[in-house]
C-alpha cells in the first residue's frame, strides 16, 4: 500500500497505489447528541491498519474551517472527521459553544465505539480506529476553543490543536464588544440570523465562562499534548490579546507537551494552508505516533 514517509509526498503528490480492499473513503454518518442526530463526514485513510483520528470542529459561523488540510492529513494515513454541530445549519436547535462542546463529547464517544470490529461503515468497511489516538482540531472560538475545552474535560483525549482561539477574558469586555459591533452584525447577517454573537456574549453565564476560558483551563490542559497556532495579522482573534495570553497561561501551568506557532497570515491562514498541513502532520506524528 502507499505509506508515505515524506510529508511533501502527501501534500504535493497523489498516491502511487490505491488499496482495493481498504481504499480511501469519504462516508457521511451521524451520531446521537442530546437526543438529536448530528451529521458529518468520515474521511477514512486507506490501509488495513488501525489509525488515529483527527476531529475537525467547525468555526462558529459555519462554512470553511481549514478544510484544505483534511485531504493531506487523510493521505498521510490518518482518519479525519468533520461534523456540523446542532444549530449550525438547521432551524431546530439554537447553536452555542456549549451545545457544540456537548456534540463534540458525543462524537468522541461515537469514534471510540468505532474501534469495535463489528462496527462497519455503510459501505461495509471496518473503521479501523485507534481509540487512544484521537486529536481535536479547530479554528477560532467554535473550533479551537471548543477543542481545547473538551480536551480539558476528558481523561481519554490527550491531543488538541487550536488555531486562533478566542480569549474570553478579553472578548467579553465592553470595549472589545463595542469595537467589534460591525463584525458581529455582519456575522449575524451572514448566518441568516442563526448566530447572534453580540447578544450571546451579553448572556454568557459563569458556567459558560468557566468552561471556555482557556486561561483558567490551563492547569487542566497542562498534561495534554497541545499545539496552539496563531496568525500575526489576525483581526478576529489578535495574537496579542488571544494567542499570547493563552500561551503564557499554559507555560505558567508547566504544560509539558505544549507547542506554539505564529504564522504570518490572517485569521483563516489563507496564505499558509500548505505550511499548516505540513505542521499538523509533523506534529501529530511526533507527538502521538499518528
Average pLDDT of the residues of the chain: 92
Q: Are 148 and 242 in contact (CB under 8 A)?
A: no
pLDDT at 153 over 80: yes
The sign of the torsion formed by the CA atoms of 273, 213, 86, 103 equals positive
Q: At 191, list the grid cell.
A: 448566518
**pLDDT attached to residue 1:** 36
Among residues 57, 56, 94, the alpha carbon closest in space to that of 196 is found at: 94
Structural domains in the chain plus CATH codes = 7-61+69-288 (3.40.50.1820)
pLDDT at 3 over 50: no
Average pLDDT over residues 63-85: 95
Assign 111 a pLDDT band (cuts: 50, 70, 90).
Answer: very high
155-204: pLDDT as tens digits: 999 999 999 999 988 888 888 888 888 888 888 887 777 778 777 777 88
Backbone angles phi, psi at 133, to 5 degrees: -125, 75
**Residue 74, SS3 per DSSP:** helix
Q: Strand ranges (DSSP E) for the chain?
A: 25-33, 36-44, 51-57, 79-84, 129-139, 159-163, 225-231, 257-263
**pLDDT attached to residue 125:** 86
Burial class of residue 153 (count of CB atoms within 10 Å of its CB; 0-12, 13-18, 19+): middle
Assign 12 a pLDDT band (cuts: 50, 70, 90).
Answer: confident
Assign 5 a pLDDT band (cuts: 50, 70, 90).
Answer: low
CA–CA dist 278, 252 (Å, integer):
28
**pLDDT attached to residue 114:** 94
For the ranges 62-66, 138-142, 170-174, the lowest mean pLDDT is seen at 170-174
Average pLDDT over residues 11-24: 87
Q: At 290, list the grid cell.
A: 499518528
For the ranges 141-155, 195-209, 235-249, the lowest mean pLDDT is seen at 195-209
Q: Are 32 and 106 in contact (CB under 8 A)?
A: yes
- Higher-confidence position of 130 and 179: 130
**pLDDT attached to residue 2:** 40
Amino acid at each position: 500500500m502507499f505509506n508515505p514517509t515524506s510529508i511533501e509526498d502527501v501534500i504535493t503528490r497523489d498516491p502511487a497505489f490505491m488499496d482495493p480492499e481498504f481504499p480511501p473513503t469519504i462516508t457521511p454518518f451521524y451520531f446521537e447528541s442530546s437526543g438529536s442526530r448530528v451529521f458529518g463526514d468520515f474521511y477514512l485513510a486507506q490501509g488495513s491498519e488501525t489509525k488515529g483520528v483527527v476531529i475537525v470542529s467547525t468555526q462558529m459561523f459555519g462554512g470553511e474551517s481549514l478544510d484544505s488540510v483534511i485531504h493531506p492529513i487523510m493521505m498521510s494515513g490518518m482518519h479525519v472527521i468533520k461534523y456540523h454541530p446542532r444549530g449550525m445549519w438547521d432551524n431546530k436547535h439554537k447553536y452555542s459553544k456549549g451545545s457544540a462542546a456537548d456534540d463534540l463529547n458525543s462524537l468522541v464517544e461515537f469514534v471510540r465505539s468505532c474501534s469495535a470490529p463489528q462496527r462497519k461503515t455503510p459501505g461495509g468497511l471496518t473503521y479501523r480506529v485507534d481509540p487512544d489516538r484521537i486529536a481535536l482540531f479547530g479554528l477560532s472560538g467554535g473550533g479551537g476553543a471548543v477543542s481545547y475545552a473538551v480536551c480539558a474535560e476528558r481523561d481519554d483525549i490527550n491531543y488538541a490543536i487550536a488555531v486562533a482561539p478566542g480569549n474570553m477574558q478579553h472578548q467579553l469586555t465592553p470595549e472589545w464588544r463595542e469595537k467589534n459591533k460591525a463584525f458581529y452584525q455582519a456575522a449575524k447577517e451572514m448566518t441568516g440570523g442563526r448566530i447572534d454573537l453580540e447578544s450571546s456574549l451579553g448572556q454568557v453565564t459563569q458556567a459558560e465562562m468557566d468552561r471556555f476560558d482557556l486561561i483558567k483551563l490551563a492547569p487542566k490542559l497542562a498534561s495534554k499534548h497541545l499545539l496552539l497556532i496563531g496568525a500575526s495579522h489576525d483581526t478576529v482573534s489578535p495574537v496579542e490579546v488571544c494567542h499570547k495570553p493563552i500561551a503564557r497561561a499554559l507555560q505558567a501551568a508547566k504544560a509539558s507537551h505544549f507547542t506554539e506557532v505564529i504564522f504570518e497570515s490572517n485569521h483563516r491562514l489563507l496564505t499558509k494552508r500548505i505550511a499548516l498541513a505540513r505542521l499538523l502532520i509533523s506534529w501529530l506524528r511526533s507527538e502521538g505516533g499518528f
